[in-house]
Each structure stands twice: as structure tokens, then as C-alpha cells.
Chain A
Amino acid sequence: MTKCQHYGQCVFEAPDIFRLNADDKLEYTAEADDSERANIEAAIDVCPMQAIRIVQ
């Protein structure tokens, strides 16, 4: 997560995976169902830091 700058653009694309906590820091669920794939791909597209990756 060192690349992440907590912009939160991903939160809107995949709200069940990414969230901003009370300190405005980004948190995420590392394990995701395949049904979330399209949302996560959309989050990857809009991440300003290109910090998100899908690892099988």
C-alpha cells in the first residue's frame, strides 16, 4: 500500500472493497468475490497512483 495516497477514487467504483476510515486513510478488503471483478477493474482504471492490482 505504499503507493496509495488515499485519494479515495476507488471507493466510489468498488464501495464494498475500498473505504476511507475516520482518519481519511484508505482501507480495503484483500479477498474479493469474482462478482466484484468489474468494480475492482473500474477502481484500477481510476486510481490516480495506479496502486491497485488484482492478484489471483
Chain B
Amino acid sequence: MTHPVVIVGASMGGLRTAESLRRFGYLGPITLIGEEIHKPYNRPPLSKEVLAKEVTHEAVAFEERSSTQDVNWVLGTRAVVLDVENNAVTDSEGHIHPYSALVIATGLRSRRIIVPNGDLANRFALRTLDDAIALREQLIEGKNVVIVGGGFIGCEVAATAVKLGCNVTVIHNAAHPMLRQLGIELAKQMQLRHEAMGVRFLLKRSVVDLVGRTHIEGVLLDDETTVDADVLIEAVGSHPNVEWISNNNIDRNDGVLVDSAMRVTRKDGTVISNVFAIGDLARFANPIFDFEPRKVEHWNIPTETAKRAAAVIAAMLNQTDVYPAILDEVFKPIPSFWSDQYENHLLAFGLCVLADKVTLVAGEISGDCVFEYHRGDQLVGVCGIGMRSVVQSYRAKFI
């Protein structure tokens, strides 16, 4: 009997892997193991329009395609042990899943702040559907909402909460929100636009403790001031879900190291030919930029890495003549992300975080505008507010 391709992680990356396996001609069994009870759904709206209305699985579920109707879904179940020697995964119910090929797509989980008085109600993170459902109930007009972390998620939630009539304070450790991602000029401008809508920023500050007995009542900062809070949202980054793959000598320092075929790499540099990692936790080198492996938390990366892994797996398991050629293909997806904050529609390509120089190249900073991001002489990214057709035209420069 042929063992299935086992995909661990039933989010967008896991789903796209299953669909792509079929598209590339793999007809054998597929098992998809997911911790959440929900079938795969679209996360970006959870901090934006869906959070502003009613949060339901139906509103965000990915459409199921006929090609994946025979997938064996194992939901509400975590993978707990990986045994690379015996090609098997053990799940939290104690079931053992032998595999012909394994895809690690367990992604990231929200980091939480750790403080002495942390055991209080009304603390939220925002990554899953259930997070959004729980948070939505608390975003009521007049409530004091404190957001820790002024990155993209923090700023999107701030915009949504202000629109819902909440009093919003963002606490951020840098001088401006989204500074690392956008550079100083655009970050400053976005801060002004948020402030004009009523968001208050407390910058270069961090949280040292929480105030309250059963529910959160306030947040104590490192300058010894206290901010009133009915609701606390923690948007302070993420951790890769890699604990379950330990004891296999896999390089899982800051994500899972993979080669250009998405094959997992051991600490000694050797490759495990039938174990793959994709999505937010895959640390891969992208020759568009350089040869430094990085994990990339941009919108299109789960889909791109899923397709790459699926093409390799299908060729390997179907034992096609093209397998060596597919392995040798260059993998250089162009990272892309967008963010909606009020009527400000940010669109970006590349890896803007690598830049040491950011230049306004079109439009005006007070209105719609486009910035180029350079590292030395190399164009590494482009980001605009509005002017999407200009931003779009840059994609050709990265091919």
C-alpha cells in the first residue's frame, strides 16, 4: 500500500499544497492534519472588514475545489511527534500517520507578552478565526482598547477599532508604527493619518505589567505611567510552530531551513528528500535578493512555496523523468503584501525591510505616493499608498 502525502497544517499553505499536488498529477492519497476545527480560511480579513462586521467561518472560508474532495481531513488535532527515520507523524489523539512525503505547514502562532500580573480576562491576540470571533464581541463603542505592537496587524486592528467607536491607544517600541517595514518617511505619514482618525500612539514604550484583578483594567508602561484598558490586543509578532518536529536534527532556528525545492535541511546541511516545509515558517534563500535564508511573512508566500513543494513531490512520487530537472529549477517568488487602514491602501512588492535607503518616486507624501526601497544600488522593494498601477509596474523589475 502506498502511504499518503501527509500535510500538517490546514491553513492556506496546506490547502494550496493539496490542490497543487492534484494539479501536478499526483493522484494518490492525501491527509491534511489541522489543529483548528475549521477548514482552511482566509486570514487577512480577520483584522479588517470581517472584524468590522460579523466574524463567521462562512465569511472567510476558502472555496473547496473538486480536486481535493477526497482529501482525508484530520481536524481539531495537532501533530505532536515527527519521526523522520520511520516516516511517520503521531497526532494528539495518539494516531500514527505514515507518509510517503511530509509537508510541514504549521505556520506561526502569536507571541504573547509575559508579565507578572498576566492572568487576566480580555487579553486577545489576532491570528485565528476564533481569536477574531472572541475579539469582535469586545470591540464596542466607547471601550478603551489598548493595542501592544504597532506593526501591520496592530495598525489594521487600530483602524478597525476606531471605526467601531473605540478609544484606541497603540503602544509601540519604535519611534513610529510600521517603521521597520516602511521606513521613516512613510511610517511617519501613516502615523499622522492614524492620529487624524483618533488613534493615540505611545511610542518607544513597552509594557512592564498589567493592572486589574480578574479583568484587565490598565497597562503599566516602562515610564511608570498607566493606560486605562478594557481590552488588550497583543500584536507583538509570532513564533514558528516547530516544537513537534524536534529530535530529528532538523535546522529549526527561526523557522525551518529548506533548500530551493522546499526540502527540509538537517543541522549538518544534508537534505531530507521526502520532508518539506512551506509557508510562514519556511526559511529559504531567494536569489532575487541574495543567498541568505529567511522566513517571509508576506501574503503570497504560502501559495508560492506550496506550489513549489507540490511540483517536487508530485514528480518524485510519480517517478517522472523530469524530477531532477524540477529539483534544479530556480525558486524566486516575488514577495507581495498589502494592508488596508481606513482609505489608505498600501501595496508592496519585494522585501522592503532589507532597504537602507527609501525614496519617494511618485505622487506626494500627503496623498497617494510610491516609494522605492534600495539596499545599496539594488532595488529590493516598492511600496505605495494608492497608485496601484504604478506599484504593479515594478513587479517586472524583480523577475
A residues lining the B interface (CB < 8 Å): 5-9, 11-12, 20-22, 24, 41, 45-46, 48, 50, 53
Q: Which residues of B contact A20 (CB under 8 A)?
A: 388-389, 392
Query: How far, in angstroms, from A41 to B303 measured CA to CA in the complex?
Result: 12
Query: How far, in angstroms, from A43 to B340 measured CA to CA in the complex?
Result: 20
B336 touches A41 (CB 8 A): no
Q: Which residues in window 224-273 of B have CB below 8 A to A?
A: none
Q: Which residues of B contact A6 (CB under 8 A)?
A: 345, 388
Interface of A is mostly: loop
B300 touches A46 (CB 8 A): yes
Q: What are 18 of the A-B contact pairs (CB < 8 Å)? A: A6-B345, A6-B388, A7-B388, A8-B347, A8-B392, A9-B300, A9-B338, A11-B392, A20-B389, A20-B392, A24-B386, A45-B16, A45-B303, A46-B300, A46-B303, A46-B336, A48-B299, A50-B63
Query: How far, in angstroms, from A53 to B63 measured CA to CA in the complex?
Result: 10
B336 touches A22 (CB 8 A): no
Contact A48 B44, CB 8 Å, known A7-B388, A9-B300: yes
B387 within 8 Å of A (CB atoms): yes
Interface of B is mostly: mixed
Q: Which residues of B contact A5 (CB under 8 A)?
A: 340, 345
Q: 16 other contacts beyond A7-B347, A45-B16, A53-B63, with CB at 8 A cut-off?
A: A5-B345, A6-B388, A7-B338, A7-B345, A8-B389, A8-B392, A9-B299, A9-B338, A12-B334, A24-B386, A24-B388, A41-B23, A45-B19, A46-B303, A48-B42, A48-B338
Nearest CB to that of A47 among chain B residues? Answer: B42
Query: How far, in angstroms, from A12 to B397 measured CA to CA in the complex?
Result: 12
B395 within 8 Å of A (CB atoms): yes
Query: How far, in angstroms, from A56 to B386 measured CA to CA in the complex?
Result: 34
Query: How far, in angstroms, from A50 to B41 measured CA to CA in the complex?
Result: 10
Q: Which residues of A contact B299 (CB under 8 A)?
A: 9, 46, 48
Q: Which residues of B contact A53 (CB under 8 A)?
A: 63
Contact pattern, B 324-351, Cβ under 8 Å of A = 1, otherwise 0: 0000000000101010100001010000
The 5 closest A-B pairs by CB, nearest first: A20-B389, A24-B388, A8-B388, A45-B303, A8-B392
Q: Which residues of A contact B62 (CB under 8 A)?
A: 50
- How far is the CB of B319 from the nearest CB of chain A, in Å? 23
Nearest CB to that of B12 among chain A residues? Answer: A45
A22 touches B389 (CB 8 A): yes
- How far is the CB of B348 from the nearest CB of chain A, in Å? 11
Query: How far, in angstroms, from A5 to B344 measured CA to CA in the complex?
Result: 12
Query: How far, in angstroms, from A11 to B393 measured CA to CA in the complex?
Result: 10
Nearest CB to that of B49 among chain A residues? Answer: A5
Q: Which residues in window 349-399 of B have CB below 8 A to A?
A: 386-389, 391-392, 395
Contact pattern, B 49-84, Cβ under 8 Å of A = 1, otherwise 0: 000000000000011000000000000000000000
Q: Which residues of A contact B303 (CB under 8 A)?
A: 45-46
B387 touches A24 (CB 8 A): yes
Q: Which residues of A contact B19 (CB under 8 A)?
A: 45
Q: Which residues of A contact B388 (CB under 8 A)?
A: 6-8, 20, 24
